[in-house]
Amino acid sequence: MPGFDYDLFVIGGGSGGVRAARIAAGEYGARVGLAEESRMGGTCVIRGCVPKKLMVFASAVPDALALGRDYGWDIAPAQFDWPTFRARLDAELDRLEAAYRGGLLGAGVTIHDARATLADPHTVRLATGETFTAKHILIATGGRPHLPEGLGAPVLTSNDIFLLDRLPERLLIVGGGYIACEFAQVMAGLGVGVTQFYRGEQILRGFDDDARALVAEATRGCGIDLQTGTDVAALSEDGQGICVTRTDGARAWFDAVVYATGRHPNTEGLGLEALGITLGARGQIPVDGWSQTAVPSIFAVGDVTDRMNLTPVAIREGHAFADTVFGARPYKADHQLVPSAVFTRPELGSVGLTEAEAAERGPVEIYQTAFRPMKTAFAGRPERVMMKLVVDAGSRRVLGCHIVAPEAGEMIQLAAIAVKMGATKEDFDRTCAVHPTMAEEMVTMRKVTRHHGTIAKG
């Protein structure tokens, strides 16, 4: 395509941008440039999913050791060394970043290690002063943690947790979403005394109510002081640490405070408004089903669009964009029935409608069970797990599946295939159980737990 420096210029080196660049250049031969102002790999690889999951693994070790003793193993007391883990974590992130960079270079993508902004619908300007033109521009700048203004004392975000020189003894986490809940349990597992404030009635808003309640129960069961209906009124520093005044006037002191109260699309200063792109209330870039903005040459994928903020979704959006624009294979990324997982202990896996959402749409049946799993019940532990199916009372199709259990993330990935295919409750029932497993309960629930609505007759 003569007249442009590139066929495609991608702003952002996270999961969605990297996938789009690699497919466009490597599979379709497009001339692609990509600019990333920070580390290649974006939030998920550098300061999100990957390092968090490694911390989840690390934090689960003390519980595994304790369970080993209950199973008869003579295990000496162990102590966690944060600097050792932190060094290994940093090395792993360096390896992953190099792999992402190598994949781009191998596909023929030109990498610019600089911040990029938009000068016009076909021109990007780098912080170095260079400008490049492109027939298509893809914005994949992701999101960033949101902090309230005027807090009165220094606080941390989820980005900072991976960079701590040492672990605090007393930690307050503010928030009730999956990031707050995951890090609360991670830090508690690593030996930190954790308090969690959430202003709402129950944590994990948006997930199924029964699943939320069980995760909250497990959170308190592992020693976290989870306080719902509670928020921070004021912060200050003194000789005892960070003084936190609650909304009810009570005060407590902490060594560190982490705010995990949401993320906002990373669009500030990109120059979008000057080009006629009106941002949404949270700063998100409005796009159509093809990930195209109001300016035809400019597209956006991933968290910056605030559609469904999950890494695999950003990857699908980036791939669909590249196939559509450069591969003559037009299709839209599918945002329906996307599974997700919260990596607490136990994990929460979910796909499809919650019970409340389904009940608003028509008659549904609920099949649900909660029980003590064999592994921990043998050791005399009280922990429970839950399996739940939300079923359309008319079509018998499974509308939602919700699991709270160890490795629920692994289970929901497989269950999501059946739900995505339109499986009915009878399809689940016809599937033979694998015994003895927790997951066998998914195909052995026969009695309806609750009804919502009635099916009209005649």
> Would you name the residues annotated as active-site residues?
435
Report DSSP state, residue 93.
H
Rounded Cα distance, 135 and 49, in Å? 33
Residue 365 DSSP SS3:
strand
Rounded Cα distance, 367 and 343, in Å? 24
Helices (H), 327-372: 355-361
Rounded Cα distance, 299 and 22, in Å? 16
Rounded Cα distance, 72 and 353, in Å? 42
* Residue 330 phi, psi (nearest 5): -70, 125
Rounded Cα distance, 159 and 455, in Å? 49
**DSSP notation for 195-217:** EEEESSSSSSTTS-HHHHHHHHH
Residue 153 DSSP SS3:
coil
Read off the tokens for 300: 């956006």
Judge contact between 393 and 364, C-beta under 8 A: yes
Listed residue (327, 152, 323, 330) closest to 232, CA to CA = 152
CB neighbourhood size of 245 (10 A):
15
What residues are paired with 257 via a beta bridge? 172
Contacts of 80 (CB under 8 A, 6+ apart): 58, 61, 62, 190, 191
Residue with tokens 């369970």: 67
**DSSP notation for 380-396:** T----EEEEEEEETTT-
Residue with tokens 């902090």: 147
Residue 13 DSSP SS3:
coil
Residue with tokens 């993320």: 263
Listed residue (309, 347, 351) closest to 57, CA to CA = 347
Rounded Cα distance, 276 and 295, in Å? 7
What letter represents residue 264's amino acid?
H
